[in-house]
Amino acid sequence: MNSGDIRQTLLETLRQVILRILETESWKQVTCDPIQRLPAFQLTQEVCGIVQIHGVRRGIVAVTASRRTTAAIISAVTGSEVREMIDEDILDGIAELANMVCGNMKTYANIGGITLTPPMAILGGSFVAQWKTEHPVHQLTFRGRDHTLIVLASV
Amino acid sequence: MRVLIVDDSSVMRKIVTRGLRQAGFKIDDILEAGDGQQGLATQGKDKCDLILSDWNMPNMDGLTFVKELRKTGDKTPIVMVTTEGGEAKVAEAIKSGANGHIKKPFTPDTLRATLGQFFK
């Protein structure tokens, strides 16, 4: 596979595994917008879970959402009340979601020779963070009935 | 029946706990540990009948946990709960003494199908 084929495989696998994870874990009738190309890998949402890809293919994937959406996802899968959720729950939840997304992407894309870093999580009321990336940046936007989850990928 | 969940994510421990309850298993007690070292200590003190362990954890990962527990002669069934389900990884876990494997995300049906044999 050439570089473009690997990118397409990883992006399409990401789309499929996130749809499956969201449907399994919490959301019903989730849809994905057409994949968009972005000028930079820039995080602006309140909650972000980030995993880096190392090995024969390097890259970065970020799962991002509002605190409200993240809390709703965690509440749906754990049974915890949204109002009882503390920052540590939000950070742990988005990190685990990013870990699950990228682990499934690695398994089903079956590219071989890549490893994943442990997830990093960010929670903040107002920030902009930007990474310099080796590959083009794409955005996958997933919409549930009341929530939106955005995934950035440079793969 | 006592179950030990070994995972560094408190959210994931809650997800597994909820999944076990939703699957309808008769469980008397669920104990939790945040990594392999804590898992060994907990199992050494309060022996459980089934262990569900994450793979990637700080201090002691799931694979080392399996190997270390087996070294003690403990034959309690261990099922790995992981995000990566590659065949080589699963084979490595089984060779090291794990008894099964569940891939995240899972449903109560998945848990029933994989763990049912250990609740008989």
Is B11 in the A-facing interface, judged by CB distances under 8 Å? yes
Contact A78 B56 (CB under 8 A): no
Query: What are B55-99's pLDDT values in tens digits?
Result: 989 999 999 999 999 999 999 999 999 887 677 888 899 999 999
What residues of B are in contact with residue A94 (Cβ under 8 Å)? Answer: none
CA angle A27, B83, B97 (to 5 degrees): 140
d(CA B101, CA B32): 18
What are the sequence ranges of the domains in chain B?
2-115
What residues of A are in contact with residue B14 (Cβ under 8 Å)? Answer: 77-80
CATH number at residue A125: 3.40.1550.10
Distance of CA B51 to CAs A64, A96, B40, B82, Å? 32, 20, 11, 14
CA torsion sign for A139, A82, B30, B116 is: negative
What residues of A are in contact with residue B85 (Cβ under 8 Å)? Answer: 107
Contact A78 B11 (CB under 8 A): yes
Average pLDDT over residues B18-28: 94
Single out the residue of B54, B63, B76 nearest to residue B5, CA to CA: B54
Pull the structure tokens for residue B105.
Answer: 């995300």
Is B109 in the A-facing interface, judged by CB distances under 8 Å? no
- Residue B35 pLDDT: 97
The ipTM is: 0.86
Split chain A (155 residues) into runs of 10 and give each run's mean pLDDT. 89 95 80 96 95 95 96 91 94 96 93 91 90 94 93 97
Q: In chain A, helix, strand, coil percent, each to 5?
A: 40, 30, 30
Q: Which domain holds residue A47?
A: 3-154
- Residue A24 pLDDT: 80
CATH number of B2-115, picked from 3.40.50.300, 3.40.1230.10, 3.40.50.2300, 3.90.25.10: 3.40.50.2300
CA dihedral B69, B2, A25, A37 (to 10 degrees): -20
Domain count, chain A: 1
d(CA A110, CA A106): 6
Contact A93 B83 (CB under 8 A): no
Contact A21 B105 (CB under 8 A): yes
Question: What is the crossing angle of helices A67-78 and B10-22, to 10°?
Answer: 40
Residues in contact with A25: Cβ distance below 8 Å, sequence separation at least 6, in sequence order: A73, A76, A77, B105
Gap from A18 CA to chain B (nearest CA, Å):
10
d(CA A16, CA A101): 10
- Residue A26 pLDDT: 67
